Amino acid sequence: MRYETTRREFLRDSSLAFGGAVFASQVKLPTSKHAQVDILIDEPIGTISPNIYGHFVELLGGVVYDGIWVGENSRIPNINGIRKELVEHLRRMRAPIIRFPGGCAADSYDWRDGIGPKENRPRRTNFWFFGDKRKGNTSSKFDPNHFGTDEFVRLCRLCNAEPYLAANVRSLSARDFNLWMEYCNSPAGSTTLADRRAADGSPEPYNVRYWGVGNEAWGCGGNFTPEEYSVEYRKFVSWVPGYDVNPQFIGSGPNSDDYDWTRKFFERLAAKGGFDAIQGWSLHHYAANLARGHVKGWEESKGEAVNFQPVDWYEVLREGERVESLITGHWKIMQETEVGRKVKLVVDEWGPWYKPSTEIAPGYALSQMPTLRDAVFSAMTLDIFNRHADKVSIAACAQLVNCLNSPFLAMEDKFVATPVFDVFEMYAAHQGGTSLRTEIAAEPTTYPRDGVPTNFWGVKGSASLKGKTLVVSLARPDTQEALTVDIRPRGATVRSGRITTLTNSVLNAHNTFEQPNIVRPTSRDLKLSGGAVTVELPAASVNVLELTLA
């Protein structure tokens, strides 16, 4: 019931915000404006790394237990203990890479706790202990360690994703990190840990390529200064045997716009040895502050996940869109010292972060209900990554299930895919394509922000080419008006095409266990006249076109 703000109520609320007289001129009749999208086929930006469509799994709340891990003997359909429906959906959205075990939990985690026979694995206090207010010794307070390295790699193998492990820099040593790599990657029969891995079910190495060196080293990952962290970083990555995988090391980068962190770390690396042992620089940005300057504080400034104010439809998009300037800003600073542009950005935590209130279970810390708004948010974010394919090599949406911007919610035998899932499934067509420069001419949309009419863009997106297939994704944020768009691939002719659209007449529409298909995309073939592509993007929609070129 509390989730029932309709578009009509949204309009009504807008009228209140504006004052009746002004509102009359703001209400849009259901006509459609016109816009133009030019795709510059001859201006490639770079290959879209499939890994920017990645996901993040932390030992936190209900993410692992029971979002992913239900156990081999569960009555819930599973594949060797892993929720079967989840695996099927991960395959559908072609999840390319998954990050584990944190987040903040990574810097409390000892990988040795999560290997070997389950009955021998120690139970440990979880980093997020305080997030579960339930009585009793729940798995999110006291981790049974039943889901460890072997189970995580199993999850990845089941859906053809690359494992991306985050090492503990705050409370373990470089030697512990090296031993974890040895457990994962040393050849069959070569070391005691390779034998241990064989006893745990895998004589063959896991060949884990992606290794994060800590997490948020400026905060929960050790409270380091950038200078201190650069010392730790070098200790962790120096003289590490690569085995057969050519490991990719990812440094713990800035919190949002902390440019000082990036500059100082890169300066230190440049001064001592250079950039051979760093392939990625992580960047975290959550769209959390919806306060418009009215209140301060991390918790206080958050907005509602479902019962949001009309203004917050746009505010969360505005806040999330900052990731684009963060990408260009940090990239520029990295170039001051790393002129070769070999170190790429890894946006391995992104998403909206709302106030608690829509958790599907009390102990599922940070769980929130994704709505249509979050689908538009996710589309906008993935388009940004596509447009910066030359700079961003990996990204991970926070987090996979029962958490912030989750594609899935799961509890016991119940499972539902949220509208965020649909966006990932729709956008998978971009993976591995060549990102192309686009030019968009569209009127901005206007919304009332504290009584002041304020502009927001009318349509944005990205385009990629793979063979003869041109993929164009477009997000239309305007909550009231559709938009007619002419799509013009310059220098190419479109022979046929299909459009998939995700929208709903209710702005906070979402899928629940009881009603799992409230927000779902629809597809149709395009009618082309003389090769011209003109489509109507509904208000509040995400659209993906797959066009076959002549």
* Distance, CA of 439 to CA of 462 (rounded, Å): 10
Residue 78 binding ligand AHR, by CB under 6 A: no
Torsion (CA) 356, 357, 362, 363 in degrees, nearest 10 = -20
Q: Which CB, 215 or 262, lies closer to ligand AHR?
A: 215
CB 255 within 8 A of CB 216: yes
By rule CB under 6 A, what string of x and - marks binding of each residue 48-67 to ligand AHR? ----------x---------
Q: Closest separation between CB of residue 403 and ligand AHR, Å?
A: 7
Number of residues that bind ligand AHR (CB under 6 A): 10
Q: Give the residue with the Cβ less far from ligand AHR, 363 or 538.
A: 363
425 is catalytic: no
Instruction: Report how far apart, in Å, the C-alpha atoms of 179 and of each of 123, 172, 183, 206, 236 are.
Output: 21, 11, 6, 14, 11
| Among 488, 461, 468, residue whose Cα is nearest residue 544 | 461
Beta-carbon contacts of 512 under 8 Å, excluding residues fewer than 6 positions away, are: 416, 518
Kindly state the helix (H) or strand (E) to which residue 262 belongs, with its residue range: helix 259-271
Q: Minimal CB distance to ligand AHR: which residue?
A: 103
What's the min distance (Å) between Cβ of 418 and ligand AHR? 16
Interface residues for ligand AHR in 144-203 (CB under 6 A)? none
Task: Give exposure, 415-443, as e/b (b: 16+ Cβ within 10 Å).
Answer: bbbbbbbbbbbbbbbbbebbbbbbebebe
Stretch that binds ligand AHR, among 102-110, 225-233, 238-246, 449-457 (CB under 6 A): 102-110
Q: Which stretch binds ligand AHR (CB under 6 A): 98-106, 181-189, 238-246, 302-310?
A: 98-106
> What's the closest the beta carbon of residue 145 comes to ligand AHR, in angstroms?
18
* Binding status of residue 102 toward ligand AHR by CB under 6 A: yes
User: Nearest approach, Cβ of 63 to ligand AHR (angstroms)?
Assistant: 9
Of the candidate spans 82-90, 100-108, 269-277, 501-509, the one that interacts with ligand AHR by CB under 6 A turns out to be 100-108
58, 162, 216, 304: the catalytic one is 216
DSSP sequence for 31-53 = -EEEEEEEEEEEEEEEE--GGGG
Among 64, 398, 420, 506, binds ligand AHR (CB under 6 A): 398
Nearer to ligand AHR, 102 or 458 (CB): 102
One of 108, 126, 215, 445 touching ligand AHR (CB under 6 A):
215
**Is the Cβ of residue 138 or residue 399 nearer to ligand AHR in the bound state?**
399
Per-residue b or e along 98-118, where b marks 16 or more CB atoms closer than 10 Å to that residue's CB: bbbbbbbbbbbbebbbbbeee
- C-alpha 63/C-alpha 399 separation (Å) is 8
Q: Is 119 a catalytic residue?
A: no
Q: Under rule CB under 6 A, which residues in 457-516 are in contact with ligand AHR?
A: none
d(C-alpha 405, C-alpha 399), whole Å = 6
How far is 314 from 318, CA to CA, in rounded Å? 6
For residue 103, state whether it binds ligand AHR (rule: CB under 6 A).
yes
Stretch that binds ligand AHR, among 101-109, 240-248, 495-503, 520-528 (CB under 6 A): 101-109
Which range touches ligand AHR (CB under 6 A), out of 99-107, 155-163, 264-272, 441-449? 99-107
CB 354 to ligand AHR: min, Å: 13
Which residue from 241, 254, 255 is spatially nearest to 211, judged by alpha carbons? Answer: 241
Q: How far is the CB of 102 from ligand AHR (least distance, A)?
A: 5
170 vs 318, which CB is nearer to ligand AHR?
Answer: 170
Cα–Cα nearest to 180, from 153, 144, 220? 153
Q: Please state the closest distance from residue 172 (CB atom) to ligand AHR, in A.
A: 17
Applying the rule CB under 6 A, the residues between 309 and 368 that interact with ligand AHR are: 349, 366
Q: How far is the CB of 131 from ligand AHR (least distance, A)?
A: 10
- Of the pair 397, 416, the CB lying nearest ligand AHR is at 397
Radius of gyration of the chain (CA): 23
What would the two tokens of residue 495 be? 């022979």
Select 381 or 399, whichever has its Cβ closest to ligand AHR.
399
Q: Please, which residue, 114 or 352, has the CB nearer to ligand AHR?
A: 352
For residues 145 and 153, what is the distance between their CA atoms, to the nearest angstrom? 14
Is the previous residue joined to 399 through a cis bond, with omega within 30 degrees of 0?
yes
CB 355 within 8 A of CB 299: yes
Taking CB under 6 A as the binding criterion, the range among 47-55, 97-105, 230-238, 301-309 that sits at the site for ligand AHR is 97-105
**Residue-by-residue DSSP string for 126-190:** -TTGGG--SSS--TTTEE---S-HHHHHHHHHHTTPEEEEE---SSS-HHHHHHHHHHHHSPTTT
User: Which structure tokens are listed for 383?
Assistant: 């388009």
Task: Show the site string, 229-268: x = touches ligand AHR by CB under 6 A, - = not.
Answer: ----------------------------------------
Q: Check residue 401 for interaction with ligand AHR (CB under 6 A).
A: no
Strands 248-251 and 280-287: parallel
* Selected catalytic residue, list 349, 359, 425, 481: 349
How many residues can be counted in the chain?
Answer: 550
Distance of CA 302 to the CA centre of its chain: 19
Q: Looking at beta carbons only, is 368 or 480 nearer to ligand AHR? A: 368
Question: In terms of CB distance, is 57 or 436 closer to ligand AHR?
Answer: 57
Q: How far is the CB of 315 from ligand AHR (least distance, A)?
A: 20
Q: Can you tell me the distance from the alpha carbon of 447 to that of 308, in angstroms, rounded to the nearest whole number?
A: 15
User: CA angle at residue 491 from 489 to 495, to 5 degrees?
Assistant: 60
Please report how close the Cβ of residue 366 comes to ligand AHR at its closest, in angstroms: 6
Among 143, 150, 216, 315, the residue binding ligand AHR under the rule CB under 6 A is: 216
Q: Which residues are catalytic?
A: 216, 349
User: Which parts of this chain interact with ligand AHR (CB under 6 A)?
Assistant: 58, 102-104, 215-216, 349, 366, 398-399
